[in-house]
Every structure is written in C-alpha cells, then in structure tokens.
C-alpha cells in the first residue's frame, strides 16, 4: 500500500547537514538462509521486516520509501495470509534520528502482499536523509537515501551505479555489495531483469544451480511473482545496496517472461500457461508492489527524473507496447508499422530530449540501441540489395529483440537528434549480458565517415550467463576471438567484453560522462572480489566514445 507522508512540522527541522559518506553495513550480515530459518521464531512474537527496506525515484523535494512487513509466520510472500498491520516510518537528517523531519504511518494488508510505500515530500534538495520503518515494536536498521538536486541547480557532478540482469540461480549478487560499499552514489540504476521467471534449473550457472529459486516452478500467477520477488529481497547484498542509496529501476522481459512483447512472450504458451494478459497483469502488479518505483503512466515504467541542470534521465518501457519480434534475416525489421516503443512513448521521448536544457540527456534503455550486425556492406550497396532480397537494410542483425529488430523507431529517433542538433544524449543499457562502449551512428554502413548521433554504455550482467558460460569455455576465451570480429563488422563499437560479470559506475560532470566498468572474480562465490576493468567516456558536444585510463 502506498501512503503520502504527513509532515512533521512541530520539530522545525534544522538546515540540512553536509553530505556524509555512508558505508554499507548491517544488511550484509544476514544471509538469506538465516532469514528463512529465523522468520517463524521472530514473527511468532512480533512483526518482522525480513525483506529489507528501499528508497527510489528521488525528486528534489522527496523520495519514495519501501518495505515489506511479515506480521505473522504464515504471512509469507504470495500467501494472501496475515492480519492488517500498521507500519510507521520516520525520516531524519542524521543516522541517530535526533533531527526528525517527517513521519507517518499506513496499514499493510494482504491485498498488497503486506508491502508498504511512503511517498515522502517536503524534503530539501541534494540532501542525505536516514529512514526506518516500525511495526509492533520491531524497527528496521537505519537506511540512507538522497534527494535529487533542485531542478535549476548548477551541479558539479553526479555518480550512479548501473546494473542489469541478476539471475538468482546463477550466482550471488556481489556487484550489489561492492556498489553498496562505495558509499558515494547519488542513486543506482537497475536497467531490467531484476528477477527471472524461469523454473529451477531452466537457466542457471552453466547448467548448475548455485542457489534454488522459490517457487521452484516457472512463475505464472500473482502469488508466484510475489514469492519470487520476496526470495530476491532476502539477498543480503541486494538489501545492502537498497539501504545505502535510492534505486531507479525499469523492467525488461524477465520481470514478466523471456522476450516479452505487448501480446505475448517467447516463454509463454497461451492456454497451457493461462492467458498472457493475465500473466502480464500479475507480473506488473507484483513489480509495483515490491519495487520502490512510481508508475508515471499506468502499468508502465517510462518516466523522467531530473538532477539539477546537469542531467535529465528518461526511463523507457520497451515491453508493454512493442510488436512481436521477427527472426534473424527477416526484412520485416524495417516495417514502419512495427514498433519497439509505441507511438506515445516515442513522441514523449523525442519531446523530452528536444525540450531539455540539461547538459546531459541520459536514457535508461533496457535493450541495446547501437546496431550489432554481421555481413554489413556499405549503405550504398546494402540497401538496394536488401530491398531486392527482402533482407534487413542495415545488415543481418544478430539480436532482433533489441532496437535492431525495430529499425524504423531507431531511424526516427536518431534523425530527430540530428535534425534538432540535440547533443550529449547517452543511452545506458542492460539486457545483453556483455559490456559495450558504442557510438550510435546515423548510418552504420558509412560510419565513421558519417555522423554519430549519440553514445551508449552497456553494462554486463550481475550474474546471468554470458557467451563463455553458454559455450562452456574458460572466461575470456570468447572475448579474445569474438571482440575483434564484432568491432571489424561494427565500426561504431569501441569495446565489447562478452565474458565477464559485474557492474558500472557512471560519473558525470559538465565536461564528460564516464563509465567505469568493474568485474567480479567469481559469481558462484558470495565473497567474490571486484576489480576495475576499463573506462570509457564521451566528452560534451562530441557524440563519440573514447577510452580513458583514469577511473574515478
């Protein structure tokens, strides 16, 4: 249930203090197995907060707070059981809660799976706050969040964590732990596949289950999706990250089903697995219950956040409106009647990019924007030949689930950027389980002689299999062979790492946007270490990516 805040006016809160560096702390101490084992004993005497706390969608004057209460032992996620329970929340400018600035309460019910959201307003911009929840004598540990800078504020710099594709069965979520330990994030972006819908063993770590899903079967119903979200939220590393910085999340396909589109999904059998419309509705309901996200348009995750005059962040939903995917080599990818974004969302995105007065226009983008083709000829030769043979005009796309499968939408958007001289547009992308640094050419067939309209940083997976896992060879083997070939056929690609797992840190100033790529040592180990891999940046006004050897 979502509750708007009640301002705590009588305390006359002091002016906001300086920003403090926060260390990821208490949440990492509780393992998922321990939570499961101790839940009944704790819940028998008092309500318990077994799934951590979170904040999200920061605004200059507010932030969304989230938690889930377990009022009684039987009130497990998806059970539909458990009494109505009053949950209160408190927000302060200090960890000790000596300077409370807002507080309120709401009632958690089985109808919302005992999840709680509080949409706090009246806060100061660009300020660290601490929050906690309480119910029946039980109080959560303090958690940190941060508001966005004022809309018209001159901001020297911003730093965002960037992640995608976290498969529970394939490994541990060490990237979350390492991002939490930094203590320097203004927010962190989850670009999709926060959960996976598969049954146990269907999609694991090189076919090995590191830790089993709950429920064990493929999730189809509202109860199933709630249980799966609940299992994910017991992960200590995920809890730690949620307790140190606000999250900005969008969904991709696996929050619903693999290769989802507006009317179905590859991993859905109509009839045998029920109606897709019912499954999609259940998945979306559970997502909005369990995630600290404000739906800007009913039933979608596309919305826009602003961080002073430095950044406008447009967040996309590329599953709710898209046409069904076509096969590789099918010229229908160029059909103007097919869409990835839907007309309304594309017009919204174009208008927002054009009207923005921010230095940087970031786009949270679930699937890769830059072309990734094989057998590419120059545009002058390829297009007439493709027209004759009924092939894609921009080369044989390897993955038609991404923008390559919907080339008319991409051409329209890139032409809009060029014709309106819109600069400093950076797509931040997940999904593909690889790390990329790309220019986004207006015409890939003549690049680099022709223009680049934008740039793109793609982060690899937190734990989901990538190419070396799929073919079961030692890490690095595929990248050594494939990366030079990919770059030769796609001259706008500056770097691709096909084989490692990790996360990104995006550091932005007025002069440049820089992505530092980090990799983890072993996703199958809960104590995996992290190390810097590479850094790429785009300088203001250039629309091109360059390598830098100086991580920030």
Q: Is the CB of residue 143 less than 8 Å from the CB of residue 131?
A: yes
Strand partners, 537: 514, 546
CA-closest candidate to residue 492, choices 537, 432, 440, 435: 440
Q: What is the pLDDT of residue 440?
A: 98
| Furthest C-alpha separation in the chain | 75
Q: What is the pLDDT of residue 52?
A: 98
Structural domains in the chain plus CATH codes: 1-147 (2.60.40.380), 148-548 (3.60.21.70)
The burial of 162, by beta-carbon neighbours within 10 Å (0-12 exposed, 13-18 middle, 19 or more buried), is given as buried
Q: What is the pLDDT of residue 489?
A: 86
Strand partners, 119: 4, 64
| Torsional class of 259: left (φ above 0), alpha (ψ -120 to 50), beta (otherwise) | left
Query: Residue 239: enclosing H or E segment and its boundaries?
Result: helix 236-242
Q: What string of pLDDT tens digits covers the 552 residues of the chain?
A: 544 333 333 333 333 332 333 333 333 333 333 333 334 444 356 899 999 999 999 999 999 999 999 999 999 999 999 999 999 999 999 999 999 999 999 999 999 999 999 999 999 999 999 999 999 999 999 999 999 999 999 999 999 999 999 999 999 999 999 999 999 999 999 999 999 999 999 999 888 999 999 999 999 999 999 999 999 999 999 999 999 999 999 999 999 999 999 999 999 999 999 999 999 999 999 999 999 999 777 789 999 999 999 999 999 999 999 999 998 878 899 999 999 999 999 999 999 999 999 999 999 999 999 999 875 544 454 455 445 545 566 666 779 999 999 999 999 999 999 999 999 999 999 999 999 999 999 998 889 999 999 999 999 999 999 988 887 888 888 888 888 888 988 999 999 999 999 999 999 999 999 999 999 999 999 999 999 999 999 999 999 999 999 888
Omega prior to 451 cis, within 30 of 0: no
Q: What is the pLDDT of residue 391?
A: 54
Q: Are strands 545-548 and 530-539 parallel, antiparallel or unpaired?
A: antiparallel
Say how many Å lie between the first and final Cα of the chain, rounded: 39
Beta-carbon contacts of residue 525 (< 8 Å; ≥ 6 apart): 172, 174
DSSP letter for each residue of 365-394: ESS--S--EES---HHHHHHHHHHHT--TT
For the entire predicted model, the pTM comes to 0.90
Segments of 121-181 assigned E as strands:
128-135, 138-139, 143-146, 158-163
Q: How many CA atoms lie within 13 A of 64 on its CB side?
A: 21
The burial of 365, by beta-carbon neighbours within 10 Å (0-12 exposed, 13-18 middle, 19 or more buried), is given as buried
Q: What is the pLDDT of residue 326?
A: 93
What Rg value do the Cα atoms of the chain yield, rounded? 23
CA-closest candidate to residue 413, choices 449, 441, 437: 441
């Amino acid at each position: 249930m979502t509750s708007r805040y009640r301002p705590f006016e009588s305390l006359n809160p002091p002016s906001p203090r300086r920003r403090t560096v926060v260390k990821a702390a208490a949440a990492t101490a509780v393992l998922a197995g321990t939570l499961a084992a101790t839940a009944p004993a704790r819940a028998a005497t008092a309500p318990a907060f077994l799934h951590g706390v979170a904040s999200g969608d920061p605004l200059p004057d507010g932030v969304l707070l989230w938690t889930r209460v377990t009022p009684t032992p039987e009130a497990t996620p998806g059970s539909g059981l458990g009494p109505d329970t009053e949950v209160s929340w408190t927000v302060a400018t200090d960890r000790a809660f000596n300077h409370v600035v807002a507080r309120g309460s709401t009632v958690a019910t089985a109808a919302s799976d005992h999840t709680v959201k509080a949409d706090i307003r009246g806060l100061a911009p660009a300020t660290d706050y601490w929050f906690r929840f309480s119910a029946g004598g039980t109080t959560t540990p303090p958690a940190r969040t941060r508001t966005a800078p004022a809309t018209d504020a001159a901001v020297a710099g911003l730093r965002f964590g960037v992640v995608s594709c976290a498969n529970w069965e394939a490994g541990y979520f060490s990237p979350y732990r390492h991002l939490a330990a930094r203590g320097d994030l203004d927010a962190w972006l989850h670009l999709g596949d926060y959960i996976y819908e598969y049954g146990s063993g269907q999609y694991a770590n090189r076919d090995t289950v590191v830790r089993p899903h709950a429920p064990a079967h493929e999730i189809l119903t509202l109860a199933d999706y709630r249980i799966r979200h609940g299992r994910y939220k017991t992960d200590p590393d995920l809890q730690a990250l949620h307790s140190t910085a606000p999250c900005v999340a969008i969904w991709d396909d696996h929050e619903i089903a693999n290769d989802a589109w507006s009317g179905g999904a590859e991993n859905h059998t109509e009839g045998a697995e029920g109606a897709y419309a019912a499954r999609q509705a259940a998945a979306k309901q559970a997502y909005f219950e369990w995630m600290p996200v404000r739906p800007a348009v009913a039933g979608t995750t596309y919305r826009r956040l602003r961080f002073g005059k430095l950044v406008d962040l447009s967040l996309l939903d590329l599953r709710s409106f898209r046409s069904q995917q076509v096969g590789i080599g099918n010229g229908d990818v160029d059909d103007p009647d097919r869409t990835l974004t839907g007309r309304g969302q594309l017009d919204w995105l174009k208008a927002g990019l054009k009207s923005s007065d921010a230095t940087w226009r970031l786009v949270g983008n679930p699937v890769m924007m830059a072309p990734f083709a094989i057998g590419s000829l120059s545009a002058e030769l390829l297009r007439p030949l493709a027209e004759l043979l009924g092939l894609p005009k921009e080369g044989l796309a390897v993955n038609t689930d991404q923008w390559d499968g919907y080339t008319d939408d991409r051409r329209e958007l890139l032409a809009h950027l060029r014709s309106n001289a819109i600069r400093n547009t950076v797509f931040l992308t997940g999904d593909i389980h690889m790390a990329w640094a790309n220019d986004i050419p207006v015409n890939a067939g003549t690049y680099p002689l022709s223009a680049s309209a934008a740039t793109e940083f793609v982060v690899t997976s937190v734990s989901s299999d990538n190419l070396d896992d799929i073919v079961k060879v030692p890490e690095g083997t595929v990248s050594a062979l494939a990366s030079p070939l990919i770059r030769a056929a796609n001259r706008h690609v500056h770097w691709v790492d096909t084989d490692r797992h990790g996360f990104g840190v995006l550091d932005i100033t007025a002069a440049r946007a820089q992505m530092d790529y980090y990799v983890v040592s072993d996703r199958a180990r809960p104590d995996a270490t992290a190390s810097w891999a590479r850094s790429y940046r785009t300088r203001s006004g250039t629309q091109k990516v360059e390598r830098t050897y100086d991580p920030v």
